[in-house]
Structure 1
Amino acid sequence: MLIIPIKEGENIDRALKRFKRKFDKTGTKRQLQTRKQFNKPSVVRRAQIQKAQYIQGLRDAEDI
């Protein structure tokens, strides 16, 4: 459970922003999305390889 201490006189928007940032860092939302539907390990691995190839291509294009 996330606990965000609010200081005296602090704006609620600022506290909400801190909460959202902390929530994103925990990865809870991403984990819920992955658990929503089962993916075969081979499909997950293929997606990881494709993502790595894409990023490597971007880095190679940047070096040129």
Structure 2
Amino acid sequence: MLIIPVKEGENIDRALKRYKRKFVKTTIKNQLQERKQYTKPSIARRAQIQKAQYIQRLRDLENI
């Protein structure tokens, strides 16, 4: 649960903006999206391998 202390005289829009920023940083949004739909382990593993290959290609291009 996220707690955002609101200071005296602070605009509610600023507090809401801080809440949204904190919400994104805590990766709760990503967890909710992952739980929304089941992903087979084989597909998750394939996505992880593809991500690793992509990162490796980027690193190789930087070193050229």
TM-score (norm 1): 0.85
Q: Which runs of 5+ in 1 are unaligned?
A: none
Give me the whole-angstrom Cα distance separating, in 2, the residues matched to 1:20 and 1:36.
20
Highest RCO, 1 vs 2 (Cα 8 Å, sep ≥ 6): 1
TM-score (norm 2): 0.85
Deviation at 1:11, TM superposition (A): 2.3
Deviation at 1:63, TM superposition (A): 1.5
Q: How does 1:6-45 map to 2 (within 5 A)?
A: 6-45=6-45
Number of corresponding residues: 64
Residue in structure 2 matched with residue 5 of structure 1 by the alignment: 5
Give the AA of the match of 2:6.
I
Give me the whole-angstrom Cα distance separating, in 2, the residues matched to 1:54 and 1:7.
44
Q: Which runs of 5+ in 2 are unaligned?
A: none
Residue in structure 2 matched with residue 51 of structure 1 by the alignment: 51
Percent identity (aligned)? 78
Give me the whole-angstrom Cα distance separating, in 1, the residues matched to 2:6 and 2:37.
37
Give me the whole-angstrom Cα distance separating, in 1, the residues matched to 2:6 and 2:24.
19
Which 4+ residue blocks in structure 1 deviate beyond 3 angstroms?
none
Give the AA of the match of 2:27.
G
Say which SS state the counterpart of residue 3 (structure 1) adopts.
coil
